[in-house]
C-alpha cells in the first residue's frame, strides 16, 4: 500500500514540477537525418558524427516543487568537439512541435558556423548568432520567432536575488538583440539553460561563470606552461611494494572511495601497445605524489594474455614473406607517416582445391548468361585504306560518284577488328570479426561474402576480364592480414575456389593500409581502366588509436591516393549506418548500401556489370 501511494505521489509531484511541453516533444531520432544534411551543407565538418547528447549535471536554482521531486538536476544541451556534434536527446521547450523541430535545425546551423573554441560563452554565442544572420539573412524571421517564443516561456525571475536577476535580464536581452550585451554579472548559480545557444563541451561546469571563462582559460594555459617547465626538475617520492597477485584482479571497492592517485591497488595491469602522447604520460606522472614501483616477475605472461586472440602459428594462415611496410595518415599532424604499418600477405590455411558449391551453380549459370553480352565482340571496320577484304558498299558508292564527276579514291576495304575490354578489377573484401554476425537463422555475413566472391569470380571468368581478389583484417598497425585469394596473373580454377571457401572471420578493420596495398597491386596493371571494389560491413576501426576519426581520415586519404593513381574505388557495404560516413570517404556516387545482405551474392556481379558496361 505504501509503495502504491508513493508511486502515485512521485508521478503527481514530478508532473507538477515539470515545465516541459510533453505533448509537443520532438526526439533527436526524428530529425537526425535532416540535421545531418543541414549541418554538412552549410559548412560543418563532414566527418563529424551527429549524435544525441546525454544529460549532464547542471547546477541551476530550482523551484520548491523541483527540489521535492528531485528533478531538473541534469540537462541535455547542445555542444561539439573535434569528434562529434551532440544535440539534446529531445526538445519540449515550446508548446508548438514545429518550433521544437526548428530549434534542432537552428542548433545545427550554429554548429556548422562555429569552428573555434569558446573564450566567453555568452559573448561568443551572440557573435555566432550575428554571423549566421548576416551570412543567411533569410534565417532572421525564423530566429526571432524562436527567440520571442523562448523568452516568453522562460521562467519568471522577478523573485530571484539581484545578481541572478541581472544575469537573466542580460541573457534575455542578448537573445532578443544579439551583440548588445558586453558584460554579464557574477552569480553563484548557472543561469537557466539557454537552448538557443551552444555550450562549450560535454562537461558543463555550472560554477564556471561566463565572465570568468577568459580568466580560467588564461590560467589554464599559464599553468600548463609552468608545469611543463617544472616537470624536468621536479622529483617524486618513490616506494617499493610487493607485486599484486594476478588472481586477485577484480575491483571489489566503489570507485568513489579511491580518493587520490597515490593509493596503490593490487591489480594486474596488462600491457597496452596504444600510442599515447608523451605529454599525456608526463601529465599523469606529474599528478602523482608518490611513484609506486613493484618488481614484476611475470611480465611476459601479461603480454601473452593480451595476444591470446591471435591463433598459434600451427593454426594460423600461411604467411608469405616478411611483410610489407606501409605509411599511415595522421590527420592531427596532416602528415603521411612512412613505414608505420606492417601488412602481412597470407594464404588461407587448409585451402584445398574445390569446385563451385552445388547450391551456387544455378545462380552462376544465370549470371554467366548475363555477362555474355560483355564478352569481346569482333566486327568489320569498314571504309579502310587497307584491309583483309573489299568493302563492296564503299566500292559501289565510289563507282557511282566517279561516273558523275571525277572523285578521289576513298577507303575501299574492310578490316576485321575486336572490341576488347581494356580494364582490370580488384575485389577487396573486409574479413573482420563483425562478419561472424548472423543475418538470419542459417547465414552469417561471412557466408554471404564467400558466396558473393565465388559468383563474382565465375562472372568475370566467363567474360574474360582481368581481375584479382583479396581479403583483409587487422590487429593493430603491426599485424595487418592481407589474404591472397587470386592474383591478376593467376588462373581462376578450383584452387582459387578452394581459397575463397576457406576464408573465415578475422579481427579488426584497418582499411587504409589494405586499400594502399590493393591500389599498388592494381596500379601495376597495364589496363586503361582500373576498378577497386571494396566489400565491407562496417566503418574502419582497430583496437588502438585507429578507432573513430583517425581511421576515417586515414581511409579517406588512401582513397585520394588511389584516385591519383588513376584507380576508381567503389564501396559496397551492408552497414545500414554507412550513409553517415561513406559520402565523406567515397563521394556521393561511388558507394552503395545493400539493404538486404542476403542479396549481396546476386547484387555484386550486377553492380560490376553496371560499372563496366559503359
Residue pLDDT, tens place only, 211-226: 444 444 444 455 445 4
DSSP string covering 55-80, please?
A: PEE--B---HHHHHHT-SSEE---EE
Answer yes or no: do 532 and 466 share one domain.
yes
Mean pLDDT of the chain: 79
Pick from 66-75, 308-317, 550-559 the range whose average pLDDT is largest: 550-559
SS3 at position 87: strand
DSSP 263: -
* Within-domain flag for 232: no
SS3 at position 579: helix
A 10 A CB-CB count for 575 gives 19
Answer yes or no: do 124 and 194 share one domain.
yes
Last residue of a domain, one of 217, 245, 264: 217
* Within-domain flag for 34: yes
Q: Which three cell numbers stand for residue 339?
A: 613505414
Sign, Cα dihedral of 139, 140, 142, 147: positive
DSSP 256: G
Answer yes or no: do 295 and 355 share one domain.
no
* Within-domain flag for 311: no
Residue with grid cell 524562436, as numbered in its chain = 146
Q: Tell me: the pLDDT tens digits for 244-266?
A: 555 544 444 444 444 444 444 44
The Cα 565–Cα 522 span in angstroms is 9
* Within-domain flag for 268: yes
Contact 480, 340 (CB under 8 A): no
Which residues, other chains included, contact 263 with Cβ-Cβ below 8 Å and sequence gap of 6+?
none
Phi, psi of 271 (to 5 degrees): -90, 135
Answer yes or no: do 10 and 34 share one domain.
yes
The Cα 111–Cα 104 span in angstroms is 11
Domain membership of residue 258 as a residue range? 237-306
* Within-domain flag for 441: yes
* Within-domain flag for 292: yes
Of 196, 169, 194, which is closest to residue 183 (Cα–Cα)? 169
Q: Tell me: the pLDDT tens digits for 18-60?
A: 566 778 889 998 998 888 888 988 888 877 888 888 776 666 6
Q: Tell me: the pLDDT tens digits for 301-331?
A: 444 444 445 677 777 889 999 999 999 999 9
- The answer to whether residue 438 scores a pLDDT higher than 50 is yes
* Within-domain flag for 313: no
Answer yes or no: do 412 and 488 share one domain.
no
Answer yes or no: do 196 and 57 share one domain.
yes
Sign, Cα dihedral of 376, 377, 378, 380: negative
The Cα 612–Cα 593 span in angstroms is 19
Look at 205-219, 382-396, 460-474, 552-566 and tell me which has the smallest mean pLDDT: 205-219
- The answer to whether residue 116 scores a pLDDT higher than 70 is yes
The Cα 198–Cα 328 span in angstroms is 34
Domain count, the chain: 4
Local confidence band at 179 (pLDDT 50, 70, 90 cut-offs): confident
Last residue of a domain, one of 189, 217, 245: 217
A 10 A CB-CB count for 142 gives 17
Looking at the DSSP assignment, which residues form a beta bridge with residue 86? 51, 79
Answer yes or no: do 476 and 429 share one domain.
yes
For 431-460, what is the mean pLDDT? Answer: 92
Helix H, strand E, coil C: the string for 303-335 is HHHHCCCCCCCCCCCEECCCCEEEEEEECCCCE
A 10 A CB-CB count for 99 gives 21
Answer yes or no: do 405 and 471 share one domain.
no
Answer yes or no: do 185 and 257 share one domain.
no
Sign, Cα dihedral of 374, 378, 380, 385: positive
Contact 485, 500 (CB under 8 A): yes
Please report the pLDDT score of residue 62 as a whole number.
58
Q: Which three cell numbers stand for residue 596?
A: 538486404
Last residue of a domain, one of 169, 187, 217: 217
Contact 501, 450 (CB under 8 A): yes
* Within-domain flag for 319: no
Contact 607, 452 (CB under 8 A): no
Please report the pLDDT score of residue 255 as a whole number.
42
Count Cα neighbours of 16 within 13 Å in the Cβ-side half-sphere. 14
- Which CATH number fits the domain that encloses residue 555? 3.40.50.410
Answer yes or no: do 246 and 390 share one domain.
no
Please report the pLDDT score of residue 213 as a whole number.
44
Answer yes or no: do 126 and 110 share one domain.
yes
Q: What is the pTM of this model?
A: 0.59
The Cα 433–Cα 246 span in angstroms is 29
Strands 568-573 and 529-536: parallel
Phi, psi of 370 (to 5 degrees): -65, -30
For 576-588, what is the mean pLDDT? Answer: 88
N- to C-terminal Cα distance for the chain?
77
Percent above pLDDT 90 for the chain: 34
The Cα 175–Cα 126 span in angstroms is 8
Answer yes or no: do 96 and 166 share one domain.
yes
Amino acid at each position: 500500500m505504501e509503495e502504491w501511494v508513493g508511486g502515485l505521489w512521485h508521478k503527481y509531484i514530478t508532473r507538477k514540477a515539470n515545465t516541459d511541453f510533453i505533448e509537443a516533444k520532438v526526439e533527436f531520432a526524428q530529425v537526425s537525418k535532416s540535421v545531418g544534411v543541414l549541418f554538412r551543407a552549410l559548412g560543418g565538418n563532414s566527418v563529424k558524427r551527429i549524435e544525441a547528447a546525454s544529460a549532464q549535471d547542471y547546477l541551476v536554482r530550482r523551484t520548491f516543487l523541483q527540489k521535492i521531486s528531485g528533478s531538473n538536476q541534469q540537462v541535455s544541451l547542445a555542444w561539439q568537439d573535434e569528434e562529434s556534434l551532440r544535440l539534446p536527446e529531445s526538445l519540449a521547450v515550446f508548446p508548438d512541435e514545429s518550433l521544437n523541430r526548428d530549434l534542432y535545425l537552428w542548433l545545427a546551423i550554429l554548429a556548422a558556423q562555429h569552428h573555434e573554441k569558446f573564450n566567453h560563452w555568452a559573448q561568443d554565442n551572440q557573435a555566432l548568432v550575428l554571423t549566421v544572420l548576416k551570412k543567411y539573412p533569410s534565417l532572421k524571421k525564423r530566429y526571432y520567432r524562436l527567440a520571442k517564443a523562448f523568452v516568453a516561456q522562460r521562467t519568471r525571475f522577478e523573485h530571484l536575488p539581484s545578481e541572478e536577476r541581472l544575469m537573466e535580464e542580460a541573457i534575455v536581452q542578448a537573445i532578443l538583440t544579439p551583440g548588445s550585451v558586453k558584460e554579464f554579472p557574477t552569480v553563484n548559480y548557472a543561469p537557466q539553460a539557454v537552448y538557443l545557444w551552444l555550450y562549450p563541451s560535454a562537461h558543463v561546469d555550472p560554477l564556471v561563470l561566463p565572465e570568468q571563462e577568459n580568466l580560467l582559460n588564461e590560467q589554464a594555459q599559464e599553468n600548463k606552461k609552468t608545469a611543463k617547465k617544472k616537470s624536468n626538475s621536479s622529483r617524486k617520492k618513490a616506494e617499493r611494494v610487493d607485486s599484486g597477485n594476478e588472481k586477485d584482479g577484480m575491483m571489489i571497492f566503489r570507485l568513489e572511495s579511491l580518493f587520490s592517485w597515490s593509493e596503490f591497488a593490487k591489480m594486474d595491469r596488462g600491457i597496452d601497445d596504444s600510442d599515447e602522447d608523451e605529454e599525456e604520460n608526463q601529465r599523469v606522472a606529474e599528478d602523482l605524489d608518490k611513484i609506486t614501483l613493484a618488481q614484476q616477475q611475470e611480465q611476459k605472461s601479461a603480454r601473452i594474455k593480451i595476444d591470446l586472440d591471435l591463433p598459434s602459428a600451427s593454426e594460423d594462415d600461411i604467411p608469405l614473406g616478411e611483410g610489407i611496410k606501409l605509411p599511415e595518415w595522421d590527420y592531427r599532424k596532416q602528415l603521411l607517416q612512412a613505414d608505420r604499418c606492417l601488412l602481412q600477405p597470407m594464404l588461407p590455411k587448409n585451402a584445398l582445391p574445390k569446385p563451385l558449391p552445388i547450391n551456387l551453380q544455378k545462380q552462376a549459370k544465370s549470371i554467366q548468361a548475363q555477362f555474355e553480352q560483355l564478352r569481346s565482340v569482333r566486327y568489320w571496320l569498314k571504309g579502310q585504306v587497307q584491309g583483309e577484304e573489299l568493302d563492296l558498299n564503299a566500292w559501289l558508292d565510289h563507282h557511282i560518284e566517279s561516273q558523275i564527276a571525277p572523285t578521289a579514291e576513298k577507303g575501299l576495304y574492310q578490316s576485321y577488328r575486336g572490341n576488347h575490354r581494356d580494364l582490370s578489377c580488384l575485389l577487396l573484401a573486409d574479413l573482420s570479426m563483425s562478419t561472424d554476425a548472423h543475418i538470419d537463422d542459417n547465414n552469417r555475413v561471412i557466408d554471404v561474402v564467400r558466396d558473393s566472391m565465388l559468383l563474382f569470380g565465375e562472372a568475370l571468368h566467363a567474360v574474360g576480364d582481368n581481375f584479382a581478389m583479396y581479403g583483409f583484417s587487422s590487429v593493430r598497425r603491426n599485424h595487418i592480414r592481407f589474404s591472397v585469394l587470386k592474383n591478376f596473373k593467376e588462373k581462376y580454377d578450383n584452387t582459387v575456389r578452394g581459397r575463397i571457401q576457406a576464408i573465415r572471420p578475422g579481427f579488426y578493420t584497418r582499411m587504409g593500409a589494405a586499400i594502399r596495398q590493393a591500389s599498388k597491386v592494381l596500379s601495376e596493371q597495364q589496363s586503361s581502366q582500373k576498378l577497386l571494389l571494396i566489400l565491407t560491413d562496417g566503418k574502419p576501426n582497430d583496437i588502438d588509436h585507429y578507432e573513430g576519426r583517425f581511421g576515417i581520415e586515414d581511409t579517406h586519404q588512401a582513397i585520394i591516393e588511389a584516385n591519383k593513381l588513376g584507380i576508381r574505388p567503389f564501396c559496397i557495404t551492408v552497414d545500414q549506418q554507412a550513409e553517415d560516413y561513406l559520402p565523406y570517404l567515397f563521394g556521393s556516387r561511388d558507394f552503395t548500401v545493400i539493404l538486404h545482405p542476403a542479396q549481396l551474392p546476386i547484387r555484386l556481379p550486377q553492380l560490376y556489370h553496371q560499372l563496366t558496361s559503359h
